[in-house]
Structure 1
């Protein structure tokens, strides 16, 4: 056996996978295929769906952080898996969509920890989260026009909802690539940070500390009221859930704890 053969045999290729790691009451979901900058292959999309479902079904999890294995966040869809015919391409695209649509539909609060390039479908994955934090190496690059590819998976709706019409056009039609600071100024990310995963876990833990049912209901209410034209309509949507929370044992316990804390200060 030669030295070269030994080196080849002992070299291990990291598995292509979506990792699920509980950090207290926060689930960290990592898309991992670093050799391909975590491009969204069909099997990764399926695993992402499973990871989101696992978090939702675990009563001990109250929030989710989504990230990519360094050095990237997600380099887009693996277009080589889409098939040859138009029909098979449509089926392949819908398969790719499943992963980030599961994130978009997650009942728990979600944070994207963008630690590298988010390209094409990688932008979809970041936009699918409720909040985005961006690290020093983050880059947001739609790249659809440059590839001669029409955006998909609800990208145009998400981009305009988050960025507004002008910034969405700049990024999508004119190929503007945003770093962390520019993305923060544009409203694409909540905050530019040095360690996005660490910061995202800390932020997510705040949501996970609240009663789980309350957080799920409030996230659902935010989505409903975002589409309303009048504040009076939002009042009616919120009222029943607020009354229910006033009658919950969690509210009674927390209010009693707060009163005790205040009384000790006086």
Structure 2
């Protein structure tokens, strides 16, 4: 059996997933994609975990995917091989937990998809965002163009996908591809700090809020948005956590009056 290519640990309620194949710059192969699914399944099953962070070992985040075996394994067809590779990043897209990509170096092709699949992207100063599909003679896949267009608009999508523009961390922040670009040594601590804020809240509440944000993409008017939130807000008001926080606030107000 080959050595594991995924490491995971839990830090103050945050599940930190590290792609750990630096010799190939953390590029996905089918075994790594299977490992990603197993590790995320395990972390989601742990009730102490309230958010996820994914990053890469060494100097790369994820340098794409090994496309040499697309016709082998998982059914033997190109379609099945591609779908199996997609699982390396789609598993994060499907997570009910808040997810942060801590992009510590090159994010190429499927590696960009991994970053795009997360709720928030943070970039280290040495990060690079490179779609590279066209340059490899392959059509974008895994929802790449949809994720990019929804996030940064048609012009930045065209510049990167069609015209091969590679974005630095600072340029990714300017275009809205990432939330923040920070010095490399601050990247993972910041990602864990941000994720920890979500992990500190009641897990079911956080999952409901994330689901609501996702649903808002298909809602086109304020009336329906109010209705979508109402049921979950009513539920939250009836939860012990809200009662505890309300009582604490009332005690604080009383002590200062």
TM-score band, normalised by shorter chain: over 0.9
CA distance in 2, matches of 1:54, 1:196: 25
Corresponding residue of 1:8: none
CA distance in 2, matches of 1:38, 1:126: 13
Which structure 1 segments of 5+ residues have no match? Answer: 1-13
1:64 and 2:55 aligned: no
Corresponding residue of 1:82: 70
Q: SS of the counterpart of 2:60?
A: coil
CA distance in 1, matches of 2:125, 2:254: 45
| Counterpart pick for 1:222 among 202, 207, 213 | 213
1:198 and 2:180 aligned: no
Corresponding residue of 2:131: 142
1:255 and 2:246 aligned: yes
Instruction: Answer yes or no: is the 8 Å Cα contact 1:39–1:77 preserved in 2.
Output: yes
Q: Describe how 1:99-114 pairs up with structure 2 within 5 A.
A: 99-114=88-103
CA distance in 2, matches of 1:72, 1:260: 49
Q: Describe how 1:33-44 pairs up with structure 2 within 5 A.
A: 33-44=21-32
CA drift at 1:149? 0.9
Corresponding residue of 1:27: 15
CA distance in 2, matches of 1:121, 1:75: 8
Instruction: Answer yes or no: is the 8 Å Cα contact 1:15–1:33 preserved in 2.
Output: no
What is the number of equivalent residue pairs in this alignment?
Answer: 253
The structure number with the bigger radius of gyration is 1
Over the aligned positions, Cα root-mean-square deviation in angstroms equals: 1.6
1:180 and 2:169 aligned: yes
Corresponding residue of 1:245: 236
CA distance in 1, matches of 2:20, 2:256: 49
Which structure 2 segments of 5+ residues have no match? Answer: none
CA distance in 2, matches of 1:265, 1:59: 37
